[in-house]
Amino acid sequence: MKHIEVVAAVIENENQYLCVQRNANKYDYISYKYEFPGGKVEPNETNEEALTREIQEELNLEIQIQKHIITVEHTYPDFKISMHTYLCNTQNRILTLNEHVDHKWLSKLELPSLDWAGADVPIVDYLLNN
C-alpha cells in the first residue's frame, strides 16, 4: 500500500479555525470532505517549508507556523498517510480557493459539525481536548 508523508495547517485567526472543503476526488471517501489545508512533502523539503508552500499554492495565504501539535497515522482503503500537523496563525482571512470548493472559519466547539476526512478527525479531537 502506498504511504504518503503530508503536512497540515490548523490555521487560527480570532479564535476561529480555517476549515476547507475538498473538491471531487477519484476516491469517493474523501470527495467533498472538510480538512485542514496542507499537502505532500516534496524531496529535500522540511515539513515547515512544505506547509508554507502548500498554503501559499492552495490558498494564497500567508501563515506563521507556531508549533507541531500532532502526527496522525491514518489508513484509507487505497493509501496510508502520516500527517504532520502544525498550529499556525494568520493576520488576515483574505484567501483564494485554488483547489478547494468551500471554506469556513469555525470556533473550536463548531468543528464537529462538519463532515471531516478520516485523517482529520483526530486533529479535531485533539483541538477539542486541548
Residue with cell 496510508: 80
Residue 35 contacts residue 8 (beta carbons within 8 Å): yes
- Please tell me the distance from the alpha carbon of residue 64 to that of residue 15, in angstroms, as a whole number: 15
| Sign, Cα dihedral of 9, 85, 67, 49 | negative
Q: What is the pLDDT of residue 88?
A: 98
Cβ-proximal residues to 80 (8 Å cutoff; 6+ apart), any chain: 1, 2, 3, 4, 73, 74
Q: What is the pLDDT of residue 114?
A: 98
Q: What total number of domains does the chain contain?
A: 1
Q: What is the pLDDT of residue 43?
A: 93
DSSP character at residue 41: P
**pLDDT tens for residues 40-95?**
999 999 999 999 999 999 999 999 999 999 999 999 999 999 999 999 999 999 99
DSSP character at residue 75: E
Q: What is the pLDDT of residue 89?
A: 97
Which CATH number covers residue 95? Answer: 3.90.79.10
- Please tell me the distance from the alpha carbon of residue 12 to that of residue 27, in angstroms, as a whole number: 29
Q: Supply the range of the domain harboring residue 99.
A: 2-129
To the question of pTM greater than 0.85 for the whole model, the response is yes
**pLDDT tens for residues 82-109?**
999 999 999 999 999 999 999 999 999 9
E strand or H helix at 128: helix 121-129
